Structure 1
C-alpha cells in the first residue's frame, strides 16, 4: 500500500468527492493499486483522504468542468474536511518534505511520488487516522 499527495483546486476536489473518482491526463493512476491512499491538498491545506478501490481505467465521459481527465480510478473517501477545518500544509508537514527532498519537494507532489512511511504517518495522524 502506497500513499500519495494530490494537489488540486477546490472545484476539482469537490467533483472527485461527489463522483468518488480521481481523474488525470497523465498515466499516474495506472501505477496505483487497490488500497493505496490519496491525500488531497487544496489551497495549501489538506482537505481529504481516500483509498483507491478500483483498477485504473480510461473513460472519456465528461465529469470535470476544467478538463477530460480520462485516466481514472474509483475512490472511497475516508475523510473530507470542510474548508474551515482543513489541516495546514505549512509548518510541520511542509518541513518534513523539505527535510527529505529539499526546497524542490514539489516534484514529489506533481509526480504523485509515493510518500515515505514517516510522512504518511505524520499526515494521517493530523486526520486522526492510521494506515
Structure 2
C-alpha cells in the first residue's frame, strides 16, 4: 500500500466523493493498487483521504468541469476533515513534505508519486 497526494478544489473533491471515482491524464494511474490511499489536498487544507477499491480503466465520458481525465480508478472516501481538522492536517502534511523533500515538494504531488513512508505514517494517524 502506498499513499499519494492530489490537489483538488472543493467541487472536484465533491464530484470524486459523489461518484467514487478519481480521474487523471497520466497513465501512471495504471500502477495503482487496491488499498492504495489518495489524500485530497485543497488550498491550505486536507479535504479527505480515499482508498483505491478497483483497478484502473479508461473512459471517454467527461465528468469534471476542469479538464478531461480519461484514466480512472474507483475510490472510497475513508476519512473526511472538517475545516479545523483540515487545516491542522495540512500543516502536518506541509511541514512533513518540506522536511523530506525540501521547499520544492510540489513535483511529488504533481506527479502523484508515492510519498515517503514516514509522512504516510503521520497522515494515517489523523
- TM-score, normalised to structure 2, is 0.90
Q: How does 1:88-127 map to 2 (within 5 A)?
A: 88=88, 89-90=90-91, 92-126=92-126
* Matching residue of 1:129: none
Counterpart CA distance in 1 for 2:15 and 2:83 is: 15
Q: How does 1:8-47 map to 2 (within 5 A)?
A: 8-47=8-47
What is the aligned-residue RMSD (CA, Å)? Answer: 1.4
8 A contact 1:10–1:43 mirrored in 2:
no
- The verdict on how the C-alpha distance between 1:103 and 1:123 changes in structure 2, with shifts beyond 3 A counting, is same
Structure 1 alignment gaps of length 5 or more: 127-131
SS at match of 2:121: helix
After the TM superposition, list the runs of 4 or more consecutive aligned residues in structure 1 that deviate by more than 2 angstroms.
80-85
Counterpart CA distance in 1 for 2:84 and 2:94 is: 19
Spell out, residue by residue over 1:88-108, the C-alpha distance to the aligned partner (whole angstroms, 9 max, x if none): 423x33121111111111111
Spell out, residue by residue over 1:31-61, the C-alpha distance to the aligned partner (whole angstroms, 9 max, x if none): 2111101111011211111111111110011
* Matching residue of 2:72: 72
8 A contact 1:24–1:70 mirrored in 2:
yes
- The verdict on how the C-alpha distance between 1:16 and 1:94 changes in structure 2, with shifts beyond 3 A counting, is same
Spell out, residue by residue over 1:10-32, the C-alpha distance to the aligned partner (whole angstroms, 9 max, x if none): 11111100100000111131121
Counterpart CA distance in 2 for 1:44 and 1:31 is: 28
How far off is 1:113 after superposition? 1.2
